[in-house]
Amino acid sequence: MWQLYQFPLCPFSRKVRLLLGEKGVGYDLVRESPWAMRDEFLDLNPAGTTPVMVDADKGVTLIDSQAICEYFEETIDRFPLISGTAAGRAEVRRLVAWFDQNFYGDVVAPLLHERMKKRIVHRLSPDGGVLREAMKRANTHMDYMDYLLDHRSWLGGGTMSLADIAAAAHLSVADYLGGIDWTGHDPVKRWYAGFKSRPSFRPLLSERMEIVAPPAHYDKPDF
Amino acid sequence: MWQLYQFPLCPFSRKVRLLLGEKGVGYDLVRESPWAMRDEFLDLNPAGTTPVMVDADKGVTLIDSQAICEYFEETIDRFPLISGTAAGRAEVRRLVAWFDQNFYGDVVAPLLHERMKKRIVHRLSPDGGVLREAMKRANTHMDYMDYLLDHRSWLGGGTMSLADIAAAAHLSVADYLGGIDWTGHDPVKRWYAGFKSRPSFRPLLSERMEIVAPPAHYDKPDF
Ligand SMILES: N[C@@H](CCC(=O)N[C@@H](CS)C(=O)NCC(=O)O)C(=O)O
Ligand SMILES: N[C@@H](CCC(=O)N[C@@H](CS)C(=O)NCC(=O)O)C(=O)O
């Protein structure tokens, strides 16, 4: 059985969990706080990041959310998530990198730092200026997502792909942390409402991080 | 014919160029300075980053170095660079992400900022403290590379892979910028000396960025 090292608000672990859910791969959750830099965890992954997946029976350790997703895409035929032509697959990977790097760096990382890590590690309250800047950037990202969804059925093209999963993973963490204003983003809102009712998404939406509570609309399919 | 938008010290463009060289794919270079944020370039790539590859005849635009590498890995059979078992391929991708994110963030990005961008954009001289910290981190990364090369023929396993290419790309930019002290890193030094004499690497080593000159040993196969 696979074990997935993660914590409830890690967007990269959510991306992996959504993919595993769609592909029907079973796994056990292992709670890991990467900021604690536990020795045993650093032995497992010298980068010290979640997610990490381990299958002790197979003797396999997988590190880095994209390497993990590509692994299951290659080994599990069910529900291909990087499919189509080579150029179409490149477009999916471009968008995954966009959400994992730009959306994460502009929006999710500052929100996680201000509203979660600062509280846990330093017992400090968040910096309002940083929060406002992250929300402004979230808005710009959602304008781009609106634009994509005005031209395509899904973010990466005609079918649901890993681009949608990566986007939903990051957006859901930003929404939990109060960083998303849905006003004026009907295309993204419709797309995300559909995502929220997928069986792969429901378990994630019901989990809580002890130190910070989500806004009331967070787990409602109708918001 | 493919066009590659890049500048001489972009490590992600070097990674793509090394892969294209090994696979024998031809391309024209287009000089692009992402920090100039040229409108036409932002229209091509909203993320504003190099590398970007365009084949006007095919009507294909490729963005993000990893999406580009996966595209050519899928479409060109010659010299597979993400090969072996699914677990072996995951290990290659883990290391590529390690170099593209950790080595780049810890070492290459601060060096590029201090020794190139600050000079070009702000006409300021580098901050010695930041340079020293980047060099210290480079040293820690090279300890890890020594460790890998003590246990394997190549960084990612038994054969040369995209992990070696990503590592050589980032290391070469750090070396150009004076950030690498080779003393005490014999395994990495031997591995890199071999890399430097590959035909795919020679053209990169002969290019210069107007504003900053490399140390004397930079393009010597024997250093
Ligand atoms: N490229 C990695 C990035 C993973 C990552 O940055 N994870 C965060 C948690 S969301 C982490 O572990 N950061 C280290 C820390 O917080 O100390 C991946 O895709 O798995
Ligand atoms: N994930 C991208 C990262 C590319 C990247 O960060 N490129 C740098 C140049 S080395 C860049 O364009 N930065 C934007 C800037 O300097 O304004 C890739 O792998 O292609």
CB contact under 8 A, B90 and A67: yes
Model confidence band, residue A189 (pLDDT cutoffs 50, 70, 90) = very high
Give percent above pLDDT 90 in chain B: 97
Residue B51 CB less than 6 A away from ligand 2: yes
B74 contact residues in A (CB cutoff 8 A): 86, 89
A133-166 pLDDT, tens digit each: 999 999 999 999 999 999 999 999 999 999 999 9
- Asked if omega into B51 is within 30° of 0 (cis), the reply is yes
Model confidence band, residue A44 (pLDDT cutoffs 50, 70, 90) = very high
Q: Spell out which residues line ligand 1, taking CB within 6 angstroms.
A: A 10-12, 34-35, 48-51, 64-66, 100; B 97, 101
**Which numbered ligand comes closest to the C-alpha of B62?**
2
3-state secondary structure of A155: coil
- Domains of chain A (ranges, CATH numbers): 2-75 (3.40.30.10), 86-206 (1.20.1050.10)
The structure's pTM equals 0.98
CA distance B51 to B45: 10
Q: Are B223 and B182 in contact (CB under 8 A)?
A: yes
B60-106 pLDDT, tens digit each: 999 999 999 999 999 999 999 999 999 999 999 999 999 999 999 99
Look at residue B222 and tell me whether its pLDDT is greater than 90: no
CA distance B59 to A61: 39
CA distance B93 to B75: 18
Q: Which atom of ligand 1 is found nearest the CA of A15? A: 19
Give the pLDDT of residue B80.
Answer: 98
Model confidence band, residue B223 (pLDDT cutoffs 50, 70, 90) = confident
Half-sphere exposure in the Cβ direction for A58 (13 Å, CA): 13
CB contact under 8 A, B62 and A102: no
Residue B45 CB less than 6 A away from ligand 2: no
Phi-psi map region of B54: left, alpha, beta (phi>0 left; psi -120 to 50 alpha) = beta
Look at residue A223 and tell me whether its pLDDT is greater than 90: no
Option in A46, A71, A144 nearest B90 (CB):
A71
Please provide residue B9's backbone torsions phi and psi, each rounded to the nearest 5 degrees.
-105, 20
B85 contact residues in A (CB cutoff 8 A): none
B138-162 pLDDT, tens digit each: 999 999 999 999 999 999 999 999 9
CA distance A67 to B86: 10
State how far the alpha carbon of B5 is from the alpha carbons of B30, B35, B208, in Å: 5, 13, 16
Look at residue A221 and tell me whether its pLDDT is greater than 90: no
Name the strand (E) or helix (H) holding B2: strand B2-6
- Measure in Å the smallest separation between the Cα of B61 and chain A Cα atoms: 8
Give the pLDDT of residue B192.
Answer: 98
Alpha helix segments (H runs only) across B53-185: 65-75, 86-97, 109-112, 128-151, 162-176
